[in-house]
A = this chain, B = another copy of it.
Amino acid sequence: MHKNLEEKTFKTEYFYSGRIVKVRVDDVILPDGAKGKREIVEHPGAVAVVPVNDKKEVIFVKQFRKAAEKVLLEIPAGILEPGESPEECAQRELKEEIGYRGQSLIKLASFYTSPGFSSERLHLFLAQGLVKDSLKQPDDEFLNIEVIHLKEVIDNIGNNMLEDGKTITGIVMACRLLKV
């Protein structure tokens, strides 16, 4: 049992600064007094939304993910813009990616997607009372929309229908809340 788990940084070096992420290495003092290094990917944070219509169908987006080298079935999501609240970001992504807004937005969870190396914190919502809005996909996003019933999704959750972490979390939490 360790009393104090904290690791104090005594040196920071940046190795990459890109459009979305930055990469730094922190030299730290470990809890036992020894020195160590931690690689950190800095990320601005993100929002994801499970949009469920009145028939309990989920409106998904399908998009190619270069990091996975494949097309993934995901819930609408995007990176937080400076000064934007998670709720504003959720509504913006619904509009941009599927052309809806949600009259009801329930926070499901907020979490680090991979805290071993990444600072990305994701805010996860359930959107209901969906109202059609004009679709406005950004120029560099190519998405197809797919509508699938919650029951069909949860029944296939072990079959690789979903391979995206936030989408799996959102679907399982939505099913628990909506008793599907």
Tell me the A residues contacting B by CB distance below 8 Å. Answer: 1-2, 5-7, 9, 15-16, 18-21, 23, 25-26, 28, 30-32, 34, 36-41, 43, 46, 62-68, 71-72, 74, 77, 79, 107-122, 139-140, 142-145, 157-158, 160, 162-169, 172-173, 175-176
Q: What's the Cα separation between A49 and B112 when bound, in Å?
A: 17
Is there an interface contact between A72 and B112, defined as CB atoms closer than 8 Å?
yes
- Of chain B, the residue at the smallest CB distance from A65 is B115
Given A21-B41, A111-B163: A5 and B169 interface contact (C-beta under 8 Å): no
Complex contacts, A110 vs chain B, CB 8 Å? 160, 163
Complex contacts, A140 vs chain B, CB 8 Å? 30, 34, 36
Name 23 interchain pairs, CB-CB below 8 A, sorted by A: A1-B145, A5-B63, A6-B64, A15-B16, A21-B117, A23-B23, A30-B140, A32-B142, A34-B140, A40-B67, A43-B114, A65-B116, A67-B118, A67-B119, A68-B112, A74-B115, A109-B162, A110-B163, A111-B167, A112-B164, A115-B164, A172-B172, A172-B176
Q: What's the Cα separation between A113 and B139 when bound, in Å?
A: 25
Complex contacts, A2 vs chain B, CB 8 Å? 142-144
Q: Report how many copies the assembly holds.
A: 2
Is there an interface contact between B113 and A165, defined as CB atoms closer than 8 Å?
yes
Q: What's the Cα separation between A40 and B65 when bound, in Å?
A: 10
Is there an interface contact between B67 and A41, defined as CB atoms closer than 8 Å?
yes
Q: How far is the CB of A21 from chain B (nearest CB, A)?
A: 6
Q: What's the Cα separation between A138 and B23 when bound, in Å?
A: 25
Q: How far is the CB of A54 from chain B (nearest CB, A)?
A: 24
Complex contacts, A46 vs chain B, CB 8 Å? 114, 116
